[in-house]
Amino acid sequence: MNSEDKILVVDGNSILNRAFYGLSRAAMLTTSEGLYTNAVFGFINILSKYLQDENPRYVCVAFDLKAPTFRHKEYDQYKAQRKGMPNELAVQVPIIKQVLDAMNIARVEVEGFEADDILGTVSSYAEKQGMETILLTGDRDSLQLASCHTRIKLPVTRGNKTETDQYDYDKVIEKYGVTPGQLIDVKGLMGDASDNIPGVPGIGEKTALDLIKKFNSLEELYENLDKVEKKGVREKLENNKELAFMSKRLATIFRKVPGVENISSFARTEIDKEALYSIFKRLEFKTLIEKFGLENTPFVEATEALKIEHVDVHSVSELQSYISVIKLSGMISVYYHVDPTGSYLDDLCIFACNEEYAPANIIFSEKLTCETAINELREILESKDIEKYGHDLKNLYKYLKSHGIEFENVVFDTFIAAYILEPTRSTYTVSELSEDKLEQSITPVEVLYDKHGKRLDQGQDVSSSEVCAAAVNAIFGLTQKLRPIIRDNGQDELYYKIELPLVEVLADMELRGFKVDVEGLKAYSKEMDSRLVILENEIYMQAGETFNINSPKQLGVILFEKLGLPVGKKTKTGYSTNAEVLEQLSYKHEIVERILEYRQLMKLKSTYADGLLSVLEQDGKIHSNFNQTVTATGRISSTEPNLQNIPVKLEMGRKIRKVFIPTNQDYVLLDADYSQIELRVLAHITDDPNMIEAFLKNEDIHTTTASKVFGIPPEEVSSLMRSRAKAVNFGIVYGIGDFSLSKDIGVTKKEARQYIDDYLDKYSKVKEYMSDTVEKGKEFGFVTTLYNRRRYLPELKSSNFNMRSFGERVAMNTPIQGSAADIIKISMVKVYNELKKRRLKSKLILQVHDELIVETERSELEEVSKLLKDCMENAVQLKVPLTVDVKHGDSWYETK
């Protein structure tokens, strides 16, 4: 059957609800103006998937209306228990209807009837016309509509993936043992709590199915009540006959809704690209603009046709003339693009930031090579009198450093500024910021490069000079726009003293890289192979047979059927064997510990033992990317590879650090690690006297906490008590609840609650901080760190409990974790500047959360050790001392 014979009917309310709650575990998706969009975004993606999969000729989306239906008139308690739609979802309903209109997809709403009834009616008419019908819904009530020509598609979540359960006539029988039509009779008996349909009290699904399988229908059942064997069931049926038949009527989907007979009116037509683009633009759905191919449509091109007058510089003399202009101006805005290899510049456009002069696009050629141009610009670039503005300048720093040029007096990076102002934004491109902040549409510079950043050959449609000129002009405009906002937010210190100077620090770290012992890495991989073989054999021996350890299905059979371990979660495909389930079973059988270790080692091998070789560069080093604008808390992250996430709980995980070594024998690795920085920040922020006293006396904070919580002298604290106190100490920082704590330390939920209550009783100022911070977050819409880094939290005002709880945990954690991140960044800048000031050969090469690693020239070891400790311990002045442990070794492993 082809698309001409097919119709897709969507239960709009059901799918919108699924999209809303399906995405609500993460932070609520909003626009920069605070408009909620997660349900719209999810709905469009779900609908697009099924449109692509099924390619129907006809489509319509059915919605409920607020008016009561015929079911409410028959039973005033119908759906009475349901809470109203959350405001965060309600505001998105009209938006999704606008989207559907722009997509030219028919919407159907009929007063007095529900979306289910519309689905039933449309499918009934479609079947009569010999059409294939697909009903897309999250409501299993619609299974009664399944037939030989009507399929029900139910999106379901399994694990972290969305899958589809599909039902036709035969599948319903296979699943339930009754026909689709008989499911109505089953509902009449068992009721439906979600719709507040009462059914027969005391009759559940199993009994209801058994009765209908035997008697075929509710009517036949009541005609043959004397044949119901169980007396109790018979009496329940006798006493509740009216309820049973009313429940059946309520559960029956009405299939004659007026006004939806004309299937041809649901025919798909071309989307209104201009209208859809306008909506997606307002909702900031960049990925959907690309997905629907809207970025290159004529009306978009018209809005992106802003052209900036510019000059093309072809020769040294022309460049020298423009340099004279820059010297008069005293400032320069720069747009650049470095080739992915980092060896040369693809594009360089400079602007003297004066209305009298146009941006200058430097055209590289044999006449004016990149090297020549950079050397001509050296005086400008190294001048401390000329201000420089740019966007994402880290790679330019790296390129210039590799050519012996110091990039001086960089006073504004719009990339970093935008991140500080909107830390949860997903992208910060010049074109997006230009449109959002300046209301100027420019051609994205990304059109000039492929997905790997390699320069594309341009056709006649795109002038690279025009694109680059528009970008460099926008950078200057953004500088003028964002500077006062940062000042008015009280974020000057955060920006100018921490984030902006950090750009150069990270560039230098990336450029330096971290040496890897290749032979040692290969030996480590072989050692891991040997350990994996041993673990495999031990697992097979304990299981009594060989099987595929990496197959969750086969593993589930071994653990829960053969070995009889307690069954936890179960999925459609079998038993759940994820890490959470296995950790809870680790005390039940030694095979589980072996499996957990096996999985960890497999990940270690693929990610590090084998993975590091793929990112090793010709100099024998790994040059990781340090990301400054990714985390909302301000923490630095690293990629390609992620050196901050090497597991250290396993000895084999710690051993990978052995392959990270100094550049040569003249150097040694110096490791400086803050001691309990987040707890010290907590003590400072909360001003808790007990916690402050413990740190001032240099006591072991976990032992002190255990002593106070358990009411015993410090010397009587056992290792188990200290361990539990440590979990509470760090858990409080992350807003941990009793359920999570109970799992972490292996106690009951009640005991965990008691630990938390006792902790907050002894550290009363911490309790005040937690409630005050949440309240301030609700009042102002954000929380801040010690250096005024903001974390916006619309979730705090959500009517959804899970969303609100998430917001509260983040509100409590951000000032602590974010302040710790600020402090480590301050330390990095101080250490970098001091090493540079003293002209030392030692280099900062890695940051891992609260730890800094400096590759130190052996003759400088004593000086740099003291420098590192002084810079880090005196980075900020808190009410408690910051303490740093400094160690050195010939490998990263030896420093720990």
pLDDT per residue as tens digits for the range 198-223: 999 988 889 999 999 999 999 999 99
User: Into which CATH architecture does domain 515-622 fall?
Assistant: Up-down Bundle (1.20)
Q: What is the pLDDT of residues 502-541, one digit of tens each?
A: 999 999 999 999 999 999 999 999 999 999 999 999 999 9
Whether the Cβ atoms of residue 673 and residue 851 lie closer than 8 Å to each other? yes
Name the token pair of 258. Answer: 């007026």
The per-residue pLDDT for 661 is 96
Whether the Cβ atoms of residue 380 and residue 386 lie closer than 8 Å to each other? yes
The per-residue pLDDT for 434 is 92
The H or E element containing residue 95 is helix 93-102
In DSSP notation, 743-807 reads: HHHT--HHHHHHHHHHHHHHTHHHHHHHHHHHHHHHHHSEEE-TT--EEE-GGGG-SSHHHHHHH
Task: State how far the Cα of 444 lies from the Cα of 431, in Å rounded to an integer.
Answer: 5
Name the token pair of 545. Answer: 């047979």
Task: State how far the Cα of 828 lies from the Cα of 124, in Å rounded to an integer.
Answer: 69
The per-residue pLDDT for 24 is 45
Give the position of tokens 């400032």.
331
Whether the Cβ atoms of residue 185 and residue 247 lie closer than 8 Å to each other? no
- Quick count: other Cβ atoms within 10 Å of Cβ 690? 15
Angle of helix 677-686 relative to helix 719-733, nearest 10 degrees, comes to 60
Question: Does 3-266 match 304-507 in CATH topology?
Answer: no
User: Into which CATH architecture does domain 3-266 fall?
Assistant: 3-Layer(aba) Sandwich (3.40)
Name the token pair of 410. Answer: 């960089």
| Best CA proximity match to 851, nearest among 822, 885, 817 | 885
Name the token pair of 793. Answer: 């939290």
Give the position of tokens 């993975």.
611
Q: How many CA atoms lie within 13 A of 306 on its CB side?
A: 18
Homologous superfamily of 304-507: Ribonuclease H-like superfamily/Ribonuclease H (3.30.420.10)
Give the position of tokens 């309990």.
676
Task: State how far the Cα of 590 lies from the Cα of 344, in Å rounded to an integer.
Answer: 56
Q: Helix (H, G, I), strand (E, B), or coil: what is residue 888?
A: strand
Beta strand pairing call for 132-136 and 6-11:
parallel
Residue 637, beta-bridge partner list: 627
Angle of helix 764-780 relative to helix 749-762, nearest 10 degrees, comes to 90
Whether the Cβ atoms of residue 822 and residue 681 lie closer than 8 Å to each other? no
Task: State how far the Cα of 446 lies from the Cα of 549, in Å rounded to an integer.
Answer: 44
Task: State how far the Cα of 297 lies from the Cα of 692, in Å rounded to an integer.
Answer: 62
Homologous superfamily of 682-812: 5' to 3' exonuclease, C-terminal subdomain (1.10.150.20)
Q: What is the pLDDT of residues 140-199, one digit of tens each?
A: 999 999 999 999 999 887 666 778 899 999 999 999 999 999 999 999 999 888 888 999
Q: What phi and psi, each to the nearest 5 degrees, are found at residue 473? A: -70, -40
pTM across the whole model: 0.75
Residue 450, beta-bridge partner list: none
In DSSP notation, 30-71 reads: B-TT--B-HHHHHHHHHHHHHHHHH--SEEEEE---SS--HH
| Best CA proximity match to 609, nearest among 534, 535, 537, 518 | 518
What parts of the chain have a pLDDT lower than 70?
A: 1-4, 23-28, 158-160, 296-307, 458-462, 568-574
Task: State how far the Cα of 785 lies from the Cα of 792, in Å rounded to an integer.
Answer: 12
| Best CA proximity match to 36, nearest among 61, 12, 19 | 19
In DSSP notation, 283-294 reads: HT-HHHHHHTT-
Q: Helix (H, G, I), strand (E, B), or coil: what is residue 337?
A: strand
- Residues near 548 by beta carbon (within 8 Å), at least 6 away in sequence: 554, 555
- Quick count: other Cβ atoms within 10 Å of Cβ 231? 8
Give the position of tokens 């106690």.
747
End-to-end CA distance of the chain: 66
Burial (Cβ within 10 Å: 0-12, 13-18, ≥19) of residue 359: buried
* CA distances in angstroms from 129 to 117, 123, 149, 208, 531, listed in the order given: 19, 10, 11, 34, 65
List the domain boundaries for the chain.
Answer: 3-266, 304-507, 515-622, 682-812
Whether the Cβ atoms of residue 509 and residue 399 lie closer than 8 Å to each other? no
